[in-house]
Structure 1
Amino acid sequence: MSSSTQGKSVPVVPRPSATVIVVNSRNEILLVHRNPKSTAFANAHVFPGGNYDKKQDDGQGLPFTAIRELFEETGLLLVHPSSSKIPSNAELDAAREAIHAQKRLFRDFLSQHNLKPYVEGLLPFTRWITPAPLPKRFDTRFYVTFLDEARPAGFSSGDKQERLPTPDGGQEVIEARFLHPAKALEEFYAQRISLFPPQLYLLKTLAEVLQGTQNTAEQRDRVRTLSQGAFGRMVINPRALQDAAAQAEGFSVLTYEGDETRGGSPGRRHRSRVRFGQGGAATQILLERNFDIFTEIEEHAFSQPAKL
């Protein structure tokens, strides 16, 4: 919850975090299923990622955090394509467990095997900051990467069951699986999986670009265009909007920068109608975005520093 200073509520400072959207050759995206009993993102499907860890990540930057968390949560290791020899599965499994338990540094493991994390392959793909009223807040950098451009170790398609114990004996991730963003959206709309608004937002964005079941150079170029343009630079601070009609239907309305209520032009919609379930994950999300994300983002609406 928020702390208090002289009777005033002070918002919790968001924790720096990093998440990576891994795209394989079949335009499938890697999602992990969080444990229903987890203290954060319970039972939701999310992209692999987690908090910056000073011990593990000191001096490395958030792309390094994203690669480390990807390895810990799924067993998938992204290293530079120039890497010549990949450790055996047994070595990877042992290192993953030791790193997750803070008994070994990820960078030491990489150094031992002359591996370079493929940080340059991670493309910025928006930044989201948890709203101030919530007790757990994250300042999350989202990245997207193409699996075929790295030297991956670990699984690259299909499903993988994971029950990796955390240091306190809990379990963070139940399973990891690759599926097309359109398929993930289909499962969400059928209420077979739950998502959070940022994941829905980015899945819809990628579903519009990564059409079909073969990843093409043209599709990768379009994703890079988004990353290098105004879209990739967007810092989104969701803010609740009082909407009696939506509330009567059981929805909350979250507005984003660039909405007509958040610095955008009249009639500009950049918001979501959300029906939240248990644990904070959404059971229904209706994204309203009536502008072209390649050419019509009004950057002036995003020019102010994000308020923490």
Structure 2
Amino acid sequence: MTDTASQKPVAEPRLSASLILINSRNEILLVQRNPQATTFAGTHVFPGGNFDAEGDTSLEWTAIRETFEEAGILLASSDTPSKLSEDEFTQAREAVHGQQMNFSTFLTNNNLRADVDALLPFTTWVTPPTERRRFRTQFFVTFLTHSTSDKLSSGGREERLPTPDGGQEVVLTRFMRPESAIEEFRAGKIRLMPPQYYIMETLRPILTGLANTESQRNTIQMLSRGGFGQMVINPRLFRVNGEVDEAFVYEGDELRGGPKGRRHRAVVKRKGKVFTFSQINLQRNFDLFTQCPVEVDIPKL
């Protein structure tokens, strides 16, 4: 079992944020990246993007802004009913996405507050040092209310059906149950990256049934507030299983100094020099509520 990390100069990871948005039917919002994109081309991911040091006040803010830009869903509240028409909403979204309008300006002009307090941390992932483009992505999780209104009610949220951004970054948006997303991934119908697969596998046994329950929300909140939500995952590539397969090995695995027999890794397949990620086998044999490996590592914004 050998570490296959490269000795090339290591790129500094860019701060980014991604949002796991769960609706009342236990479905999670996924967006499909443009096949021509420079990163994660054609893959299904949670909405998200890079932290904007000039306009974003926090990584929660980044996740909300990116979800608005990429999927047309605005997680914001107001004390008064919204007067935004559909056309005005679309024009504002396009202006923010095209950097013609600051997101905070749009919110202020419409008496809106970004719901940053509703976002819960749900692991941080750092791109392996072998990659040319690297990101340090803070994942957050939050829940949509039962409302399906296209308008803001007093104290409510803006909730619309997700729509792609015209192909700039996203060509498809859809809500999917974790079980269905994993089935489509295994059948080769969609592509998932290891972090998205890891999180979907984590949520799959929790988000059962066709309606989101208080018990399910409480379980996810417990994960967030415990070691799981605080985990910073720095994948390292090892050859395993008699040097045949390769695995992204995570903190706490026995290959990373964890207890003997501890598994915290994703075995993957490679086609030539490129990982296809058509097959991912997550191996994790510890309790997520009490045994998550946590390291104190707080980045500066």
Query: Is the TM value for this pair above 0.5?
Result: yes
Instruction: Please point out which of 229, 251, 261 is paired with 2:255.
Output: 261
Q: Does 1:153 align with 2:158?
A: yes
What is the Cα deviation at residue 161 of structure 1? 5.1
Matched AA of 1:37: Q
What is the Cα deviation at residue 9 of structure 1? 4.1
Residues 237, 306 of structure 1: 8 Å contact kept: no
Equivalent pairs counted in the alignment come to 284
Q: Classify 1:172/1:9 alpha carbon distance in 2 versus 1 (closer, same or farther; 3 Å).
A: same
Q: Give the unaligned 5+ runs of structure 1.
A: 1-7, 166-170
Q: Does 1:105 align with 2:105?
A: no
Normalised to the residue count of structure 1, the TM-score between the two structures is: 0.86
Residues 44, 281 of structure 1: 8 Å contact kept: no
Residues 268, 277 of structure 2: 8 Å contact kept: yes
Matched AA of 1:13: E
Residues 232, 295 of structure 2: 8 Å contact kept: no
CA distance in 2, matches of 1:123, 1:243: 34
CA distance in 1, matches of 2:180, 2:108: 38
Q: Map 1:226-241 to 2 at 5 A.
A: 226-241=223-238
Partner of 2:93: 96
Q: Which has the higher helix share?
A: 1
CA distance in 1, matches of 2:270, 2:116: 34
What is the Cα deviation at residue 246 of structure 1? 5.5
Q: Aligned with 1:283: secondary structure? A: strand
Partner of 1:291: 286
Residues 231, 295 of structure 2: 8 Å contact kept: no
What is the Cα deviation at residue 242 of structure 1? 2.4
Partner of 1:270: 264
Residues 276, 283 of structure 1: 8 Å contact kept: no
Matched AA of 1:186: E
Residues 18, 137 of structure 2: 8 Å contact kept: yes
Partner of 2:119: 122
Q: Does 1:303 align with 2:295?
A: yes
Cα deviation code 1:192-218 (max 9, x no counterpart)? 101100000000101111111110000
CA distance in 1, matches of 2:276, 2:239: 20
Partner of 2:150: none
Residues 252, 273 of structure 1: 8 Å contact kept: yes
Instruction: Please point out which of 72, 75, 79 is paired with 2:72.
Output: 75
Q: Aligned with 1:148: secondary structure? A: coil
Matched AA of 1:122: L
Q: Does 1:49 align with 2:48?
A: yes
Cα deviation code 1:66-101 (max 9, x no counterpart)? 000000000000013656326222111101111111
Partner of 2:151: none
Q: CA RMSD in A?
A: 2.2
CA distance in 2, matches of 1:37, 1:235: 30
Q: Aligned with 1:70: secondary structure? A: helix
Q: Does 1:180 align with 2:184?
A: no
Q: Classify 1:119/1:190 alpha carbon distance in 2 versus 1 (closer, same or farther; 3 Å).
A: same
Cα deviation code 1:46-75 (max 9, x no counterpart)? 000000112331xx1100000000000000
CA distance in 2, matches of 1:106, 1:280: 36
What is the Cα deviation at residue 304 of structure 1? 6.2
Q: Give the unaligned 5+ runs of structure 2.
A: 1-6, 147-154
Q: Classify 1:144/1:82 alpha carbon distance in 2 versus 1 (closer, same or farther; 3 Å).
A: farther
What is the Cα deviation at residue 261 of structure 1? 1.3
Normalised to the residue count of structure 2, the TM-score between the two structures is: 0.88
CA distance in 2, matches of 1:83, 1:274: 50
Matched AA of 1:155: R
CA distance in 2, matches of 1:81, 1:212: 32
Q: Does 1:20 align with 2:19?
A: yes
Q: Does 1:131 align with 2:128?
A: yes
CA distance in 2, matches of 1:72, 1:280: 29
Matched AA of 1:263: G
Partner of 2:211: 214
CA distance in 2, matches of 1:231, 1:112: 38
Q: Classify 1:280/1:118 alpha carbon distance in 2 versus 1 (closer, same or farther; 3 Å).
A: farther
Matched AA of 2:212: N
Residues 237, 247 of structure 2: 8 Å contact kept: yes
Residues 42, 281 of structure 1: 8 Å contact kept: no
Residues 70, 165 of structure 2: 8 Å contact kept: no
